[in-house]
Amino acid sequence: MTGLLIALAAVLAYTYGSLHIMKQYERAVSFFLGRYWGTKGPGLIFVPAFFAKLQRVSLRIIAMDIPPQDVITRDNVSVKVNAVLYMRVKHPDRAVIEVENFVYATSQLAQTTLRSVLGEVELDQLLADREKINGILKRIVDERTEPWGIEVSAVEVKDVDLPTEMKRAMARQAESERERRAKVIAAEGEFQAAGKLAQAAQVIGTQPATLQLRYLQTLVEIATENNSRSIIIPVPLDLISPFLEMAVQRRDQTAALPASTGTPLPSPVPAGSRQTT
């Protein structure tokens, strides 16, 4: 009876040691006597102790940081670039059987791919076409990790560390570009203003009264301001031209009269003579 109890206790202990609980996001790749025995989980699974073993594999997405890589671009600029890779295990059996450590292998593959791809592009393309470069990196890494049962969902370039000399050169280039745009905008504004002034001159040329109205409007604007300073107002010749014409006409009329109608001038007195009364 004692032996039976001992045997029963041993069976219970062996069964308890062979039971494993797998979480919803985990799978167990089991091997029986060294041979692949299947992928189990989630939930409660039985793997015979001493005869079989299992390896847990997480199916969740892994965010892998790719350390900074020294890259020489196509236009011979040395930069440091780091990135992040998002992947998940799609086939747990292949991730365990086909590669020893799929996380380390994927990290090394991503680093070499990052250096090789960025070495084929220029610096301006690296800074401007991030989405295109990310797509190329994702496609290459995903194709090479597919035999391992790994699915790469995205590869994103995070930071591009430029040399100090290159940063200064880019700052000078950006400043020159801003100055060029400012000059172009100022020239376009002057061109448009000149066109408007030409149109205004045409209107004033056909309607001279508009100039007088504009002058009077300017006087009204000056008068409404609270200004204690003396204001010198230039009077246009158009305002006094009628008076000038009247003066000229009167002078011409006076010059056209006969000499007898004019007022006689007194005769000069000879020197040394006396005027008698």
List pLDDT tens digits, range 80-134. 999 999 999 999 999 999 999 999 999 999 999 999 999 999 988 888 899 999 9
Please count the other Cβ atoms lying within 10 Å of the Cβ belonging to residue 102. Answer: 21
The CATH T-level fold of domain 62-162 is Tetrahydropterin Synthase; Chain A (3.30.479)
For 91, the token pair is 């086939």
Which of 13-27, 216-230, 238-252 shows the highest mean pLDDT?
Answer: 13-27
Tell me how far apart the alpha carbons of residues 35 and 55 are, in angstroms, rounded to a whole number.
13
pTM score, whole prediction: 0.63
Predicted confidence band at 211 (pLDDT cuts at 50, 70, 90)? low
Is the pLDDT higher at 265 or at 248? 248
Complete DSSP assignment for 168-213: HHHHHHHHHHHHHHHHHHHHHHHHHHHHHHHHHHHHHHH-THHHHH
The string of pLDDT tens digits covering residues 13-32 is 989 889 999 999 999 999 99
Structure letter (DSSP) for residue 273: -
Burial of 49 (0-12, 13-18, 19+ CB in 10 A): middle
User: Is residue 218 over pLDDT 60?
Assistant: yes
Mean of the pLDDT values across residues 175-179? 86
Measure Cα distances from 141 to 79, 89, 113, 116, 129 in Å. 22, 14, 7, 12, 19
Could you give the CA distance from residue 69 to residue 155 in angstroms, rounded to a whole number? 15
Residue 106's nearest CA partner among 82, 131, 132, 142 is 142
Beta strands in the chain (DSSP E): 19-22, 26-32, 35-40, 43-46, 52-58, 62-72, 78-89, 150-161
Give φ, ψ of 275 to 5 degrees. -90, 125
Instruction: Give 39-78 pLDDT, tens digit per residue.
Output: 998 999 999 988 999 999 999 999 999 999 999 999 888 8
CB atoms within 10 A of CB 96: 24
Please tell me the predicted confidence (pLDDT) of residue 77. Answer: 87
> Reduced to 3 states, what is the DSSP secondary structure of residue 233?
coil
Of residues 6 and 227, the one with the higher pLDDT is 6
The residues spanned by each domain of the chain are 8-58, 62-162
77 φ, ψ (degrees, to nearest 5): -115, 125
pLDDT number for residue 117: 93
Q: What is the pLDDT of residues 136-169, one digit of tens each?
A: 999 999 999 999 999 999 999 988 888 888 778 7
